[in-house]
Amino acid sequence: MTATDERRDEAVKRLKSKRDFRTNVAAYVVVNGFLILIWALSSGGYFWPIWPMAGWGIGLALNAYVVFMQKPISEDEIRDEMRREG
């Protein structure tokens, strides 16, 4: 595999991650919107949808970090790790 092929594979992987993240955000909005609708139609009261929204939101935030902020592993990091392992 050439360096160009490896770079292309990494780019495809990043694009898939971004697409998956957008799908997760859409699911979050739809499902939680539905939960809010159920809450509203069942006479409101205590806003219980906050709990699934918060839990899923934490997971979504962590996923956003991985997709958009975490840097790919560099060759230098790989070499350093290999040296440490012997």
pTM comes to: 0.79
Q: What is the mean pLDDT of residues 6-12?
A: 88
Q: How confident is the model at residue 33 (pLDDT cuts 50, 70, 90)?
A: very high
pLDDT of res. 72: 84
**pLDDT, tens only, 35-61:** 999 999 998 899 999 999 999 999 999
CB 21 within 8 A of CB 67: yes
Are 55 and 41 within 8 A, CB to CB?
Answer: no
Least confident of 14-18, 39-43, 66-70, 72-76: 72-76
Q: Domain tally for the chain?
A: 1
Domain that holds residue 12: 3-85
Q: Which string of DSSP letters, residue by residue, matches 18-31? A: HHHHHHHHHHHHHH
Q: Read off the DSSP letter of residue 69.
A: T
Please name which of 29, 77, 79, 82 lies closest in space to residue 52, comparing C-alpha atoms. Answer: 29
Q: Are 48 and 39 in contact (CB under 8 A)?
A: yes
Q: Given the structure tokens 């699934």, which residue do they identify?
A: 52
